[in-house]
Amino acid sequence: MERPDFTQFSGNIVLWGAGKIGSVVAHVLKQKGITALAFVDINERKQDTVYCGLPIISPESFLKNYSNAHLIITTVGRDDVVEWLKTNHFSRYYDAWSLLLEFDFGDYSEQNQMYMVRMIDRYFRTILRCYKINPKYVAERLKSIITSKCSLRCKECIMAMPFLKSSRHISCDEVILDIKTVLDAIGHFDDLELLGGEPFLHPELDKIIAGLHNESRVNTICIATNGTLLPTPESIEAMKRDSRILIRVSNYGSISQKCAELEELLNKNSISCEIKNFKNWYKRPLFGKTDENDVALTKKFMACMNGCGPLIWDGKIFLCACPWVFIETAQPIEANDSFLDLRNADISSSELKQSIYDYINRTNTGKFITACRYCSGSPNSDFANEIPAAKQFKE
Ligand code: SF4
Ligand code: SF4
């Protein structure tokens, strides 16, 4: 793959995509003493504002005023940008991946660093897909919902937790069994995320952590919490024994009332934590039958699958949260591919492994799930789709 020397274009570079990856690329260019002129972004609400010290312009303005510039694409919507550029006969465009390989977080402060590492991972997965290069593993990230009980009741919960027919914890043994079943099929995950609801409500969280201690096929074990609770002393002890543990705290301001105390507790015990301050979320997908054709459905599915990773819940693996929500909130749709049964005793273990591999690999091949026909897809992360984070039912 081409690794252009961007120094030769200094003073004549435009970046397409005034988002998170764009902020990193602008930072790398600055570190290297390379001057960029502007960002292009299709979002009209971003246009005519300034981002990372650069003006944001429209695609039309780019063609009109910067037709001799060199363009670096800094968005995971890369294929759409390339299509637009080709239609408009612009050929001096490049991908940003080589700049991201050299990124030094030293003085970067636009976004939380660990969060950005995940974003960059996702960007690389998109690039591999665009270049038709098979990644080493079919997915980097695996999520396991260990409980559907939560300490908050968010109106816009993506997992619809407040709307479930009933809430429950998944037993420690079942959580471990299901994770190992998926690992046997896939081989390795960079990131295993234990989710809820609120995982700190799970009475066996310490045992789950201990049960994963000898599982060497994951690099990082993240526990996602909403900052309303502290873990039990037993869980703290279990976390201390595993340096791969990372507590990912979503801080929703005043309702995440234990956030500061939690951070102090984790720091005191040398347990890694990543705090992300959320003022806004993005809208949930809308549910309702669509009449999109297979090409549109494939595109929508792949946009949603952008490195987010499959989801385990109670012996089933899902490719995204929507079919899970359909089932758990009793909105059944006619689909035999909403999930895969991880505890299917009717097939051999090698058949089960292959079927898990094939199912997860749909996130690379673009074989969309039937649920996509009933769903608007994950909205773009632009201002128009922003909603206040974690609004509670009682507010
Ligand atoms: S904290 Fe809110 S968004 Fe998260 S699981 Fe609980 S109800 Fe859902
Ligand atoms: S379109 Fe909906 S169901 Fe399909 S992958 Fe995206 S979020 Fe999931």
Element (H, E) at 189: strand 189-195
Does ligand 2 come within 6 angstroms of the Cβ of 311?
no
Residue 83: pLDDT over 60: yes
pLDDT mean over 56-85: 94
Place of tokens 């899970």: 324
Do 81 and 16 touch, CB atoms closer than 8 A? yes
Which of 289, 320, 367 should be mutated for ligand 2, with most atoms under 8 A from CB? 320
Residue 108: pLDDT over 80: no
CA nearest 199: which of 237, 235, 240, 238?
235
Distance CA(15)–CA(71), nearest Å, equals 6
Query: Which residue, judged by its Cα, is nearest atom 3 of ligand 2?
Result: 372
Q: What is the tens place of the pLDDT at every residue in 165-194?
A: 889 999 999 999 999 999 999 999 989 999
Does ligand 2 come within 6 angstroms of the Cβ of 302?
no
| Domains of the chain listed by start with CATH number | 6-130 (3.40.50.720), 141-388 (3.20.20.70)
Query: Which residue, judged by its Cα, is nearest atom 3 of ligand 1?
Result: 157
pLDDT of residue 321: 92
Distance CA(235)–CA(211), nearest Å, equals 12
| Cα of 195 from ligand 2 centre, angstroms | 19
Does ligand 2 come within 6 angstroms of the Cβ of 297?
no
Share of residues in the chain with pLDDT > 90 (%)? 69
Residue 213: pLDDT over 90: yes
Do 375 and 285 touch, CB atoms closer than 8 A? yes
Distance CA(353)–CA(347), nearest Å, equals 10
Question: What average pLDDT is seen over the chain?
Answer: 91
Q: What is the tens place of the pLDDT at every residue in 125-169?
A: 788 878 877 777 888 899 999 999 999 999 999 999 999 988 999
- Residue-wise over 50-87: b if at least 16 C-beta within 10 A, else e? ebbebebbbbeebbeebeebbbbbbbbbbbebbeebee
The pTM (predicted TM-score) of the whole model is: 0.82
Distance CA(133)–CA(103), nearest Å, equals 22
Does ligand 1 come within 6 angstroms of the Cβ of 154?
yes
Do 138 and 304 touch, CB atoms closer than 8 A? no
Q: Which atom of ligand 1 is nearest to the CA of 390?
A: 2
Does ligand 1 come within 6 angstroms of the Cβ of 164?
no
Which of 145, 148, 152 should be mutated for ligand 1, with most atoms under 8 A from CB? 152
Residue 122: pLDDT over 70: yes
Which of 289, 359, 367, 372 should be mutated for ligand 2, with most atoms under 8 A from CB? 372
Lowest mean pLDDT among 20-29, 142-151, 244-253, 299-308: 299-308
Token pair of 64, please? 């009109």
Distance CA(170)–CA(111), nearest Å, equals 34
